[in-house]
Amino acid sequence: MQQGKRAPPKLDLRAFQAPPTPSRRNHPDGLVDTHIHLWTQEQLATGRIKWPVREGGLPQLSGPHELDAYGAVVEGGMQLVGGGKSEYRGVVFVQAEAEHDDNDADGSTGGWDAALNEVETVCSAALDSKVPLLALVPWAPVHHGRAALSLFHSRLLALPSLQALAERLGYAPVKSFRYLLQDSPPGFFQRDAFVDGLKWLGEQGYAFDMTLDVTHQETGRSKVLEDAIDAIERVREGQEPGKQTVFILDHFAKPPLTADPSFPRSATLTAYIEALYQLALVPNVYLKLSALLDSADRETVAAAFDEFRTGEYKRERKDEAYDRLRSRICAVLEPAIEAFGESRILIGSDWPMFRACTLPPTSTSPAAVHCSSIDPAAESAAWAFEMQLYLDCLTGIGLEGDALDAVFEGNARRAYGLA
């Protein structure tokens, strides 16, 4: 080297390397289960809860399903969801169709007693349980309009155990109401009295859990979503922006999932998706991703559950049941995410209803005291199976990190008005 010339600078080879790609977080930080049902042996014995009978006498639902049993199921199940990296934050109880008299417009003939007892029973259980019960969605006589709702509301808030639970939580846990519509005749919830009741809920700061079934042969199929749009728009008329009734469509309105998706789509699936896009244009409407196992055929669900328990589902083979089931759910979930965005979809397990398609008929109750042949590992796996299935669907269509946090927790807090 000639004197007076400097050597060329030595460059750090790292300057030519691409910056590291941040790893995707494929699990939510927290999980709120926004849809469970509960009933006790006493409620079954007295006839106050009719669902186990109305569901066709399914043995897996015939015994009591109580809050502490659910807590034990979830404690084991959380270790199987997202690699066990998520924290369980709490649950929302949804009415289990306690016996009621639809013709009793003021509760004077005892037509509301079982529904009120249901809330009293659940709140009493929550006071003695470690399971964080965040919110309640009781039955209410919405079909009778605001006068009946006001009377029912007064009786509801006077329940001692509800008052005690509210004091413990620091807020009133009743956040929404439900009146089952999946078997109602066409136009039922478009009636003036029902619309008036829905308006009243918004004025009082409550949401409405709307349960529809687009596969129901007698209620108009996908037209039921068009009827829902019409009813919600009527409810919105005259409502102040801060007092609009929030609508939460339970179970994605039970879409058709019994066949593998194909192109062109079936007429039923196409009509369902088109109605979802229209529904998404209406503000303050949420979709609850829950109970989709019940919308699929039981053979596929049972086979997919077996693959989940053995770990075979991780191989992602397209000819296996788990992947087929995931494809069916994604066929409705992907357009739903496109229409509603990641900020208006919630997660719920619909426990214990899925037990009928995942567990043997001998599993009459998830608690050993009521069912001597109970398999705790299978119970936890059945709950985790649905949660992991939804998580795999969401990550498969590109959601990660904060978006998963919203779907698994944040949206539930916003829709139900939780802190």
Task: Tell me the domains of the chain and their CATH numbers.
Answer: 29-415 (3.20.20.140)
Predicted confidence at residue 115, as pLDDT, reads 97
pLDDT surpasses 60 at 15:
no
Please choose, from the candidates 76, 130, 93, the residue with its C-alpha nearest in 3D space to the C-alpha of residue 309. Answer: 76
The CA-CA-CA angle for residues 296, 323, 90, to 5°, reads 70
pLDDT surpasses 70 at 4:
no
Predicted confidence at residue 224, as pLDDT, reads 87
pLDDT surpasses 70 at 55:
no
Predicted confidence at residue 30, as pLDDT, reads 98
Predicted confidence at residue 379, as pLDDT, reads 98
pLDDT surpasses 80 at 11:
no
Predicted confidence at residue 320, as pLDDT, reads 93
Over range 152-170, report the average pLDDT: 98
219 band by pLDDT with thresholds 50, 70 and 90: low
Predicted confidence at residue 2, as pLDDT, reads 56
pLDDT surpasses 90 at 263:
no
Q: What is the pLDDT of residues 322-343, one digit of tens each?
A: 999 999 999 999 999 999 999 9
155 band by pLDDT with thresholds 50, 70 and 90: very high
Classify burial at 389, counting beta carbons within 10 Å of its beta carbon; exposed 0-12, middle 13-18, buried 19 or more: buried
Tell me, letter by letter, the H, E, C secondary structure of the chain.
CCCCCCCCCCCCHHHHCCCCCCCCCCCCCEEEEEEECCECHHHHHHCCECHHHHCCCCHHHCCCECHHHHHHHHHHHHHHCHHHCCEEEEEEEECCCECCCCCCCCCCCCCCHHHHHHHHHHHHHHHCCCCCEEEEECECCHHHCHHHHHHHHHHHHCCHHHHHHHHHHCCCCECEEECCCCCCCCCHHHCHHHHHHHHHHHHCCCEEEEECCCCCCCCCCCHHHHHHHHHHHHHHCCCCHHHCCEEEEEHHHCCCCCCCCCCCCCHHHHHHHHHHHHHHCCCCEEEEECCHHHHCCHHHHHHHHHHHHHCHHHHCCCCCHHHHHHHHHHHHHHHHHHHHCCCCEEECCCECCCHHHHCCCCCCCCCCCCCCCCCHHHHHHHHHHHHHHHHHHHHHCCCCHHHHHHHHHHHHHHHCCCC
Minimum mean pLDDT among 66-70, 213-217, 246-250, 363-367: which range? 213-217
pLDDT surpasses 70 at 36:
yes
pLDDT surpasses 80 at 359:
yes
In the chain, the percentage of residues whose pLDDT exceeds 90 is 78
Over range 111-134, report the average pLDDT: 98
101 band by pLDDT with thresholds 50, 70 and 90: very high
19 band by pLDDT with thresholds 50, 70 and 90: low
Over range 102-131, report the average pLDDT: 97
Q: What is the mean pLDDT of the chain?
A: 92
